[in-house]
Amino acid sequence: MVFYGIGIVFSGLLRYSRRKERKRTEQNTLLLLALFFFGLGIFVRKSQPMEAVFVGGVSAFLRFLFLIAPYVLGFCSVGLLIHAVTRLRERPESRKYWVVAFSGSVMIALSALVLVNARWLQNEWLYSLENTLDYLFVYLFATFLVFLGLAGSSRVISPSLEKAFIVILGTGLTAEEAISLMLKYRLDKAIQFYENQKAKNVQPATFLVTGGKSPGNSLS
């Protein structure tokens, strides 16, 4: 019960932080700490009926992730490679997409090797490689879940309108030298915040846009 109590304390601090308009990073850290201690409390008390059901479900889900890991990594790597090759046709000088293409190719080869080993070779060293890929997949999956949690909390936690500046991070232009969809979302969000300030009679913020001219583009 101690870990549950600590989780409740961090949940209370998170609620206080939201009311006081503290920094988003601080709120996300408190959220992760609260979830961590609640999870720790569940695993410590896994002999109890409710916690046992939860732990059993998590264990079954992890076994499922280990089972599908080589297939999902291989499938995602193919998509990554296709995306990188497509972008390299537009920007052949881009080092970033050369690295992405190389990484995707390596992951495809490793996933294929693991599947071939499970079917025919049955080599012990390759089984160790399969375990490594399994843990890598679980780590990436957990990171993705944390990202979704933080993104969701960012939508729930609305920033104060009392802001003097809005910083808009730049992204590369498309091959037609138009803004990308990601940059459009950022600009639209900044404009929406600006309009909300005007609607509430708050001094509108100053826009600070960032970025530079990418290789192959004539515009910044």
**Looking at the structure, do residues 21 and 100 belong to the same domain, yes or no?**
no
Helix (H, G, I), strand (E, B) or coil at 23: coil
Query: What are the structure tokens assigned to 32, written together?
Result: 């992760």
Mean pLDDT of 163-186: 86
Would you put residue 201 in left (φ > 0), alpha (ψ -120 to 50) or beta? left
Q: Is residue 30 in a domain?
A: yes
pLDDT tens for 126-155 read 888 889 989 989 888 888 887 887 777 667
| pLDDT (0 to 100) of residue 77 | 94
pLDDT tens for 14-50 read 777 766 655 666 777 787 788 888 888 888 887 788 8
Q: How many domains does the chain have?
A: 3
**Looking at the structure, do residues 126 and 203 belong to the same domain, yes or no?**
no
| pLDDT (0 to 100) of residue 22 | 57
CA dihedral (31, 34, 36, 42) positive or negative? negative
Would you put residue 150 in left (φ > 0), alpha (ψ -120 to 50) or beta? alpha
181 has a pLDDT exceeding 80: yes
Selected residue with higher pLDDT from 196 and 22: 196
Q: Is residue 204 in a domain?
A: yes
CA pair distance 192, 203, nearest whole angstrom: 14
**Looking at the structure, do residues 141 and 75 belong to the same domain, yes or no?**
yes
Span of 70-74, 86-90, 146-150, 181-185 with lowest mean pLDDT: 146-150
Residue 114's domain comprises: 64-156
Span of 7-11, 100-104, 205-209 with lowest mean pLDDT: 7-11
Q: What is the pTM of this model?
A: 0.69
- Domain-terminating residue out of 138, 156, 174: 156
Span of 53-57, 88-92, 104-108, 151-155 with lowest mean pLDDT: 151-155
